[in-house]
Amino acid sequence: MAELVFTNPNYLWLLLSIPLLIATHFFILKNLKTKAWKFANFEAIRRVTGATPNIKNTFVLSRNIFLLVIKLVILTVLIFSVADPILWYYGKSTSNNFVLAIDSSSSMLADDFQPNRFVAAKAAAVDFLNNIAVATKVGVVSFAGTSFAELSLTQNIGDAKQRISKLDIQRIGGTDLGEALITSVNVLLPEEKSRTIVLLTDGRSNVGTAVEKGIAYAVENRVIVHTIGIGTEQGGRFLKIDILSKLDEETLREIAEKTGGNYYKATSEEELQKAYDEIATLTMEKLSLRLQFPLLLLALALIFTEWGLVNTKYRTLP
């Protein structure tokens, strides 16, 4: 899957100038034709178009359609170049940096996992750290109604395990997936390696930053997000109250798909462990190809081509 992203998309509004260029081209030709008939060299015109009127010659030479097409292409290429297009695609990765973003809201205390979702999630995250490459750096983020960067990127897996084991349920209500994404991306930014977030939650985003804003921030910074939805269909009990899982699978799928990741639904400890194990073995990364300079070279080549044609085949008759 490839995607074309513009760093400065506002410049694409300049494409609206293309009809103006077309109108200007024919307006100038009309004026030139009027002047040509005033000072016409009919013998020269007959030598160019032939003694007998030739539709092809008169149409091409009088309207200069080919030159117009070249000018339109030059203008379009220059506008695209100013908008700074970047082609994103996926390729093999030799190393990854991860941020483990773990939902720490009170619903994670539900007992449909043993002893509860939160403990099971932390245990699976610790096992995940045992399966990643030696040179991998890991960060930790916890989130509920707000997000906290618990650990900056580190190669010390022991510190990461210790930080995860000390995570606790937050007292701030709600779940803010948008802010969780932005906080996790910020943890990854100091490093240029392939950037990956593993986001685990049992709920839906219901407060704070819009999820779409978090997705856009991840895409802008070439971060892949794998999402894990945890919870059984029957739900569980916490604080001696029966609750049903309100997992927003549609949003979690959207986050994963738009950032090039995968969505996993874990309804048991085994499925949760399997999801983490699969993520640990994935070797894809998001790569970029900046097209601004090649487009500038193309525009320059077309400008010289047009200049050559104007002074040869399409030269205006004296």
List per-residue pLDDT tens for the chain, 318 residues long: 677 888 888 999 999 999 988 888 777 776 665 555 555 555 555 554 445 544 444 444 445 788 888 989 999 999 999 998 988 776 655 568 999 999 999 889 888 888 899 999 999 999 999 888 777 899 999 999 999 999 999 999 999 999 999 999 988 878 999 999 999 999 999 987 889 999 999 888 888 899 999 999 998 898 999 999 998 777 767 666 666 656 788 999 999 999 988 999 999 999 999 999 998 887 666 666 789 999 999 999 999 998 888 777 766 545
pLDDT on residue 63: 53
Chain position carrying tokens 């906080």: 183
SS3 292: helix
Q: What pLDDT does 232 receive?
A: 78
Domains of the chain: 3-87+291-310 (no CATH), 94-282 (3.40.50.410)
DSSP per residue, 100-132: EEEE-SGGGG-TTSSS-HHHHHHHHHHHHHHHS
Q: Which pLDDT score, from 0 to 100, does residue 284 have?
A: 60
Length of the chain: 318
Q: Which residues contact 211 (CB under 8 A, 6 or more apart)?
A: 177, 178, 181, 205, 251, 254, 255
Predicted confidence at residue 286, as pLDDT, reads: 65
DSSP 2-45: -EEEESSGGGGGGGGGHHHHHHHHHHHHHHHHHHHHHT--HHHH
The pLDDT value given to residue 55? 43
